[in-house]
Each structure stands twice: as C-alpha cells, then as structure tokens.
Amino acid sequence: MIGQSVSHYTVLRSLGAGGMGVVYEAEDTKLGRRVALKFLPPELSRDPQALERFQREARAASALNHPNICTVYSIDQHEREHFIVMELLDGESLSALLNRQRVEPLALVDIGIQIADALESAHAKGIVHRDIKPANVIINGRGQVKVLDFGLAKFDSPRGASRPADETQVSADLTTPGTAMGTVSYMSPEQARGQLTDLRTDLFSLGALLYQMATGVLPFHGDTQAVVFEAILNRDPKPMSDVNPAAPAGLEQIVEKALEKDRSLRYQSATDLKTDLQRLRRKLDSGPKRSTSGVEPGSGPAKAAEASVAVLYFENLSGVKEDEYFRDGITEDIITELSKIKGLRVFSRATVLAYRDKTVTPAQIGQQLSASCVLTGSLRRAGNRLRINAQLVDTRTDFPLWSERYDRELQDVFELQDEIARKIAMALRVTLSPQESAALAAKPTDNLQAYDLYLRAKSHARRMTRQDLELSYQMFQQAVVLDGGFAHAYAAMANAAALHHYNYGRQPLWMDRAEAASEQATALRPELPEAEVARAWVLHTRRRHDEAVRIARQALARKPDCEGAPYLIGRCLFTSGRYQELADIAEPLIQAAGEDYNVYSPIQNALGALGKKDAERNIRQRRTQALEVHLKGVPEDVRARVALAIDFAILNRPEDALREVNLAMLLRPDEASVLYNAACAYCRLGRKAEALGVLAKAHAAGFGDSDWARRDPDLAILHGEPEFERLYPEKT
C-alpha cells in the first residue's frame, strides 16, 4: 500500500504487522500531520467477530484521553478496507528494550507507574485491556510510556458502579467462558482458565511485566503453552531477589501482591498498585544517585537528595521566528548558570530539548523526568528592551515556589541570568558557596553585540550544512573581533571549523583554523568544556585518539551536555578499534548528544563489528528516526539525507535509498563526505561497481581517512578490491 492514497491519507511506509492488522505511517493531507494507520487484514474483514474486535479496539482507545495511552483519532473504511487512524509514536517497544538490556531500577519503577496510571484511567471508564505485555508498551526517548493495542479490551462496569451479582455473566465481550484470550506468559489465572475477567486481570499482567523488567526473565515460563499455563495456575515464580539480588528493595512485595493467584488477595485497583510504586519511587529517589556525566560506566554515586530542576525552553513572544535563536540561547545559558550550583541537579539541554515548543504540564515533566521542579517562562525582545516572565513550579503540588517578571535593557541580560539562578537557589533553600557566587557573576563577554553574534552563530552551526557551518564560522570570527577575550566564541569557532573539515572535504585550511581558534580558547579559559572539545578535535586529527577521548570525557564531566563531545568520543573510540568500550557507553553518549544525529554512526558501526546485530538494528532504527526528524526542520542538509539513504538500504527499502542518494549527489556532486556516504549506500544495495566509482570521487575530493574507511562495515564488500586497497591502504 506504500504510495497509495486512502481517503485523505497518503501511505508512506510500513511500521509492522500483528495478528490483528498491518500498521503504516501516513500523511494526513487535510491536517498536514503524520499518523499511523492500522488496517484489518482482508481475510479478517469478512469475519464478523474479527471486525467487531477491530472496531472495539478503536472504540476502547478513543474513549480514553490520557498521556500514557496511544490516542485514536478515528475509525474509517475505504473501498472495503477497514482501518484505525491513531497517533504516530516515536520510540521503541518495551519488548525491544528488554531484548537489549535490563531496565535500571528508577526507570523500571517509572515505567510501572505510568502503565498503572494508564490502567487507572481505562478502568475508571470500565475498559479492561486484557493484553498488557512488553510489545504493547512503547517508550519514547524521554522515557514516556504509551500503552496501545486495545484489541482484546473488554467493556466492564466503570469503577465504582454496581456490578452484576452473577460473575459468570459476560457483558460487552466477544469471548465465551472457557476461551483464553491474551498472551500466554502474561495471563492471569482467570484468563488461563477462560473465566470472566475484570480489572484485576490487568494488574496481574502488569506484575508479570514488572518481574520481567527486574530480573530479565518471565515469572512463568516453559517449553510449551501447556507448561506455562500449568505454572500460572499452580506454581509461584522464583523469588526476584534470588534471580536479581540488585532488584529494588520493596519491589518484590509489590510484585508478589500483583501476582496473587487468588484475585481477591491481589491488588484491587490500579490506584493501589500505582500508589505503592510511587512510595517505592520516593524511597529510591531519596537514596544514592548515579553520576549524571553519563560516560564512565561504574562511576561512583552522586550526592543524595538534591533538588532537581528542569528548565524548559522559554516561549518566544516576540512574534518573530528569527528571534528563536535568542530564546534558545537565553534558556540554555540559564541551564548553564544553574549547573554551576552543586546543590542542584539540573537536567541537561539534551534532556529538555525534546520538550521545546511542546505543551506540557509541570506534573508531566515531574513524572517523565522525575524532576522535583520545573522552570517555565516567556521572553519578548523589542529593540533594546527585554521582558522575561519566569516561574519555578513544584511538580508534585503544581504550586509556584517563585515567580518574577523582568523588564530590563538588553545590556542587562547577563545580570538577569545571574539573578534568576540565585533566586531559584534561594527558593530551593540552597546555599551558594563563595566560589559558586563568583562563577554566577562571571560574564562570557562584556560586548552585547558579540554575544548576539555568538547566539546566532550557534543556531546556524547546529544545522550542520556546509553553508551554515561556514556562516557560523564567520559570525564567531566577528564576535572575537569585537571581544578578543571571548573564549566561548573562540571554542565554538574551532568546533565549527573542525566539523567543516570532517564533513566537507578534509581541507587542511579548516583544520588549521580549528587549531588556531582552539589555542586561543585554551589560552583564555583552559578549563572551559567547549575549549577542551576543540582541543580534542585537533588531537583526533593527529591520530592521538586516546588523548582526545580523555579530554572530551573531561569536558563532559564538567558539562554533561557539552556539544560535540559525545560524537567525538564515539568517533575516536571507533577509529582506534575500541569497540566494546564504545558499546558500553553508547546510551549515555546518545542521551548527552541531544539532536546531534552524528553520534549514532560510530556506535552502530562498533556494535556491528562486535556482532551485536539486535543492538545494531535498534541503533540504526533510532538513527533513522533522528534523521527523518532533522530533515523535516533542515531539508537542505544533504549529508543527513545521504546518511538516511544508507539506513534505508539496510532496512530493505531500496527505492527510498536510491531516491535519497541520487538527490544528495545531484545537490552536492563534488562534496567528499556526501560521495563517501553515497558509496556506503551503494555497497549496502549490493552495487559494488557504482560504489567503487563514487568512492574514487570521494577520495579525490578529500576523504582520505583510511582508519575510518577500513573499519566502516558499510564498505565491507569492497575489502580486497584493488581499487579500494589503492584508495585506502592499511596503515602501519
């Protein structure tokens, strides 16, 4: 159906299939948004019971409006094709996550709370899901849960309403007593017996899911369905503490109660289960926390019981799209200022970036990020005047802890950032040390025009196109002309030049520029994280990878979301063959990188080299999503487009791959990195001759990195080819 129009939807690509339908991504041409279309297979359309079950899924989910439940927009029919229109979800299934790793305790409890919250809402409307399992739970990059697939949902009496005296009565249910419905491993005993089910069935399934997340194994398992049924009905699961001694204390009691075979002894409501999980979450939150630097595995615990603040991007009230660079810069600088206070745990730019220009409540942020406070605000710039409204809100009570309105001259912007940081510390009863006070008072520059150029240039540099990197370099250059002591601008200039060198031709001129700017930044502020990253780029160019990794890690330790550092670490580790080391820190690097799609390439290459196919596939899919999101905002980024072509080729979408690679080469026929990646795409498509021809052009245009090319799995089919060995000989 790809490429076809169904009603006012254009089908774009397949997302997967299950027993009750095939799901596609589609464009809603009326509203201009992406949606998911779930089609009932034609052979089931003629089955009245299957059709009713399919329609019931839509009715059940559409009756619910909850942040943890996949939204259903409508149910429709087109030329005898029955389909549901629903929210297009980003992220991965809990099933895929569990196949890759065991879930950390805090994340486990948070996932459980969100599922219980969704069930609480469904049960309140008399809807029992009856198929809670990892495949029906999606988790996005922010940790938000979405429960989907109400295909087995049963309409029951709403919670609190009177219930039939005869529990054998089946109401609004397409099953009959004696028929087991659901997924065997997560079934409740009453489901296994084919008895009437109620909301407590979902709570048993959630208990099984929590057990699996905590231990990595199912509570009831066996070689056949009959063995699993027997275990569910007659056997207790192995104690969680025996399977995983590191499971959170207190979780075992919760799971045991959820897995009671006698449902009268089980949790009687999702509210009760959620409340116990929230109490456990509070205990875990008050215990030792892991370091937020996110790079060194096995690092020691951080201080306990710190106040945690999520600074959301301020709303731009100027009415001018071009002013968003200023809004972004001010917000990010406030994050940086607050990060200087040791008594606060401040969420990084990469973490809050996903919420930019989204409508979210403090309570949602508290639930999704486990933040105790949220700073929200708005900004309006008019000429030389600046108006900022800021409010600090307690996420648990929704009570404002502090709020202020500022009407200032633009030249007061640094004092304003300083004041906001101090007021937040005061509101949270955090005492500043003399060193912290001095750090807050320090200004990056005294020249407002240089600061404005710096913020504009950063906005361009993040777009990653050749023109944007060149323009950002010129703007940074103007900023340091205005203020020769502006270390941040020198560091940013060095990083822009280094990225231009690596992405667009490997011209020595750009690396010379990076080195000169790096030296200036280091001389002015040797401890500045951005200056350390600039210096690490220079070391990487000289093939001093170990030293580059050490310095880039040092930068991330100082500033957990330091731009460019995650990708550089990944690149150095892959280039030097330290694959397992890179795989061990892959997730923290991705989280720290934010919107920088470059970080995925060395990680997925390392996983491929290690033979970790499932993990590599997962990273590939995440990179594909990141590239597609990026290209919606920056469609002219040809380098991202050709990277997407490689992913399409690997994901067995050859037509899409050829479309993207041909468009990229048409737009940038002489660009080294584009040509190199085009060769990778051709290799993945099995077109060896075309790959060699394009690779020769890439080499002639300046891509001479033999270390990378010889380790790149995309080019594996060229190894041993005389032309490849000539272009990229093995270095000794």
Distance between CA atoms of 9 and 518, rounded to whole angstroms?
Answer: 51
Contact present, 725 and 526 (Cβ < 8 Å): no
Q: Examine the domain organization and report whether 70 and 97 are in the same domain.
A: no
DSSP string, 382-409: ETTEEEEEEEEEETTT--EEEEEEEEEE
Is residue 433 assigned to a domain?
yes
pLDDT tens per residue across span 36-59: 888 876 665 566 666 666 666 566
541, 481: one domain = yes
Residues ≥6 apart with Cβ < 8 Å to 578 = none
Give the sheet arrangement for strand 5-6, strand by strand: 5-6, 9-18, 21-28, 33-39, 81-87, 72-78
Q: Rounded to an integer, what distance in angstroms lies between the CA atom of residue 494 and that of residue 61?
A: 52
Final residue in a domain of this structure, among 56, 87, 118? 87
Question: What is the value of pTM for the model shown?
Answer: 0.52
The Cα–Cα gap between 350 and 563 comes to 9
Length of the chain: 732
Q: How far apart are CA 3 and CA 24, in angstroms?
A: 11
Residue 42 lies in a domain: yes
Q: What is the CATH number of the domain that holds 26?
A: 3.30.200.20
pLDDT tens-digit readout, 95-129: 888 887 778 888 899 999 999 988 988 888 788 88
Residues 238 and 213 reside in one and the same domain: yes
Q: Residue 20's pLDDT band (boundaries 50, 70, 90)?
A: low
Where a domain ends, among 285, 318, 338? 285
Task: Please check whether residue 651 lies inside any domain of the structure.
Answer: no
CATH code, domain with 241: 1.10.510.10
Is pLDDT of 163 > 70? Answer: no
The contacts of residue 2 (CB under 8 Å, 6+ apart) are 11, 12, 13, 14, 24
| Angle ∠(500,506,508) on CA atoms, nearest 5 | 95
Total count of domains within the chain: 4
**Buried/exposed code over 33-62 (b: 16+ C-beta within 10 A; e: otherwise):** ebbbbbbbbeebbeeeebeebbebbbbbbb
Residue 542 is part of which domain span? 446-563
Encode pLDDT of 480-506 as tens digits.
999 999 999 999 999 999 888 877 767
As a whole number of angstroms, the distance between CA 178 and CA 366 comes to 44
pLDDT of residue 42: 64
User: For residue 253, what pLDDT band results from cuts at 50, 70 and 90?
Assistant: very high
Render pLDDT for 529-545 as a digit per residue (tens, 0 to 9): 999 999 998 899 888 99
> Is residue 150 helix, strand or coil?
coil
Mean pLDDT of 81-102: 83
For residues 416 and 45, which has the higher predicted lDDT (pLDDT)?
416
- Give whole-number Cα distances, 605 to 180, 625, 642, in Å: 44, 17, 16
| 281 and 141 share one domain | yes
One domain for residues 538 and 524? yes
- Residues 420 and 525 grouped into a single domain: no
Strongest mean pLDDT among 143-152, 357-366, 713-722:
713-722
Residue 570 inside a domain? The answer is no
- What is the pLDDT confidence band of residue 688, given thresholds at 50, 70 and 90? very high
Same domain, residue pair 361 and 388? yes
pLDDT tens digits for 370-389? 888 999 989 888 778 888 88
Q: How far apart are CA 117 and CA 124, in angstroms?
A: 11
Residue-level pLDDT at 525: 92
The answer to whether the beta carbons of residues 639 and 707 sit under 8 Å apart is: no
Q: Report the CATH number at residue 492.
A: 1.25.40.10
Would you say residue 118 lies in a domain? yes
Q: Are residues 182 and 102 in the same domain?
A: yes
Three-state SS for 344?
A: strand
Q: Judge whether 483 lies within some domain.
A: yes
Please tell me whether residues 241 and 305 are part of one structural domain.
Answer: no
CATH label of the domain that carries residue 363 = 3.40.50.10610
C-alpha separations of 97 from 101, 197, 285 in Å:
6, 29, 23
Same domain, 217 and 307: no
422 & 342 share domain: yes
What SS3 string covers 154-215?
Answer: EECCCCCCCCCCCCCCCCCCCCCCCCCCCCHHHCCHHHHCCCCCCHHHHHHHHHHHHHHHHH
* 320 and 425 in a common domain: yes
- Single out the residue in 441, 469, 490 at which a domain terminates: 441
User: Residue 289 pLDDT > 60, yes or no?
Assistant: no
Domain contains 198:
yes
Least confident stretch, 81-95, 102-116, 687-701, 712-726:
81-95
Q: Please report the pLDDT score of residue 186 as a whole number.
A: 92
Active site (catalytic) residues: 131
Q: How far is CA 668 from the centre of its chain?
A: 30
Question: How many other CB atoms are found less than 10 A from the CB of residue 720?
Answer: 7
* For the chain, percent of residues with pLDDT exceeding 70: 87
Q: Are 89 and 243 within 8 A, CB to CB?
A: no
Residue 646 domain-assigned (yes or no): no
Other beta carbons within 10 angstroms of residue 383's beta carbon come to 7
Residue type, 725: E
